[in-house]
Amino acid sequence: MLMNNHNLDILAFGAHPDDVELAAGGTLIKHVRSGQSVGIIDLTRGELGSRGSAELRTKEANMAAEFMGLTVRENLELADGFFSQNQDSTLKIIRVLRKHRPRWVLCNSPEDRHPDHGRASAMVREACFLSGLQKIETEDLLPWRPNGVLMYIQDYDHTPDLVIDITGLVEENMKLLSCYASQFYQAEMKGIDTPISGKDFMKFIEARCYHHGRAGGFEAGEGFLCERSVGVQYLSCLD
C-alpha cells in the first residue's frame, strides 16, 4: 500500500555536513523556534575534507542537529568530490523528497568555489522536479513536488533574490557553527590550513549576515537565490 508520510516545512540539502549551517543556519533556527518542522539531508560525509574525518563530521552534524532541534537529519553517503548527476543519485534524492514531503527545499549555491556545491545544487533542483512525476516509481512512496527551491549563498557572493530576517540570531548562529570544531580555527588545533580554518573566517560569516540583512532592510539576514519568481497576493505581504 502506498504511504503518505509526514510532511516537513523545510528540507535543506547540503553537499557536505556544515554547508547548510554556514549559509542558512539562522534561517533554520528561526523556523524551528516558530514551531515549523525542519530537516537536513547531507549528500556526502565530507570524507575528503582536509580536517577531521567522516566519523568526526558525522558526530558534529548530529550535535548541530540537536542544537537546532531538527526533526530529521540523514546522510545519503554519496562519494565526496566524485558524486555525479546520474539516475542512482537522483533517485536517492527523490526518495527522501517523497518520504519527507517538504513544502520548501533549500540547496547549495548554483556556482561556488567548491565544485561539489554547484553539482549538488543542480542535482537537488532536478530531483525536486522529477519527484513530482507519476511514472517514476519509488516503492511505496507517493510523488511529491515542493512549493519551491531556494539556493543559499555560500563562498561566492551573489546578489540575493530573497532575504530571511535573522535579526537577533547571529550569536546563536555562531554557536551553531561551533559544533563543527574540527573545521574551524582553534588556537590549539594542528592541521592543514584551509579557506575556512583561518582566524578571520567567522568574521566573514558575521559580515555576510549583516550585509545580506542590509540588502533586505533588516539588521541581519541570510540571502537566497530563487529558482523561479516569488509571487505575493498583495504589496502589504512585503512590509
| Distance separating alpha carbons of residues 26 and 153, to the nearest angstrom | 13
Instruction: Tell me the pTM.
Output: 0.93
86 domain-assigned: yes
85 domain-assigned: yes
**Total number of domains in the chain:** 1
55 domain-assigned: yes
pLDDT at residue 45 is higher than 50 = yes
What is the DSSP code string of 88-124? HHHHHHHHHHHHH--SEEEE--SS-SSHHHHHHHHHH
63: CATH? 3.40.50.10320
What is the per-residue pLDDT for 194?
85
pLDDT one-digit tens code per residue, 118-153: 999 999 999 999 999 999 999 999 999 999 999 999
- Domain that residue 183 falls in: 10-238
% of residues, the chain, pLDDT over 70:
96
| Distance separating alpha carbons of residues 195 and 197, to the nearest angstrom | 6
Judge contact between 165 and 213, C-beta under 8 A: yes
4 domain-assigned: no
DSSP-derived 3-state class of residue 75: strand
First-residue to last-residue Cα distance in the chain: 46
3 domain-assigned: no
Q: CA of 16: how far to CAs of 12, 41, 42, 74, 78, in Å?
A: 12, 9, 6, 12, 10
Site of grid cell 533542483: 125
Grid cell digits, residue 102: 517538504
| Distance separating alpha carbons of residues 208 and 182, to the nearest angstrom | 22
**Exposed (0-12), middle (13-18) or buried (19+): which is 233, by Cβ within 10 Å?**
exposed
119 domain-assigned: yes
pLDDT one-digit tens code per residue, 174-216: 999 999 988 887 767 667 888 888 889 999 999 999 999 999 9
116 domain-assigned: yes
| Distance separating alpha carbons of residues 41 and 102, to the nearest angstrom | 12
